[in-house]
Amino acid sequence: MVCLGNICRSPMAAAVAEDLIGQAGLDRQVEVESFGTARYHVGEGADPGAVAALHRHGWTAKPHRARQLEVDDIKAADLVLCADRSNLNTVRRLAVSGGEDPSKVRLLRSFDPGRRQGDDGIPDPWGGGDQDFDLALAAIEPSCEGLVRELATRLAV
């Protein structure tokens, strides 16, 4: 999971995905990590608003320290999911520079079957209030549900 600073959207997405992966019994086959494309918050914990939103909606907030995505992280991953188009473009450029296939870099919202055309990013709640974090989480949840459904199908083979 990738966003800009790795303190809001990507830690929330990782927490939701991990919980759903565990519920689906895929936790021995799937590992979830989160990163940022920028160094702004490296070493910091998740934004308190992100943690509070997860708790308000019944998700488990995992301990978190922000990290910046590196080429080796992309090489180690089967799938890299970005919060928005800006991060998608940044990560695809990084993948190509490291000789990696950019097609394994996708938007997290691409897994949300109910998203509207052109509604492909997760809004950045950074600096906002509870409603902004809840709005981001409302885009993350169906995306992660769709992701886990697809993973379950792929891994059942």
> What pLDDT does residue 112 have?
97
- Domain ranges for the chain: 2-149
Residues 6+ apart with CB under 8 A from 42: 6, 36, 66, 67, 68
101 DSSP 8-state letter: -
Which amino acid would we find at residue 69?
L
* Residue 116: predicted pLDDT: 85
In the CATH scheme, what architecture does the domain 2-149 have?
Answer: 3-Layer(aba) Sandwich (3.40)
pLDDT for res 94:
98
Q: What is the DSSP string of 16-84?
A: HHHHHHHHTT-TTT-----EESSSTTTT----HHHHHHHHHTT---------B--HHHHHH-S-EEESS
Give 107's strand partners: 82
> Residue 138 corresponds to which tokens in the numbers above?
């409302």
Looking at the annotation, which residues are catalytic?
A: 3, 9, 124
Question: pLDDT tens track of the chain, all 157 residues?
Answer: 999 999 999 999 999 999 999 999 999 999 999 999 999 999 999 999 999 999 999 999 989 999 999 999 999 999 999 999 999 999 999 999 999 999 999 999 999 999 988 889 999 999 999 999 999 999 999 999 999 999 999 998 5
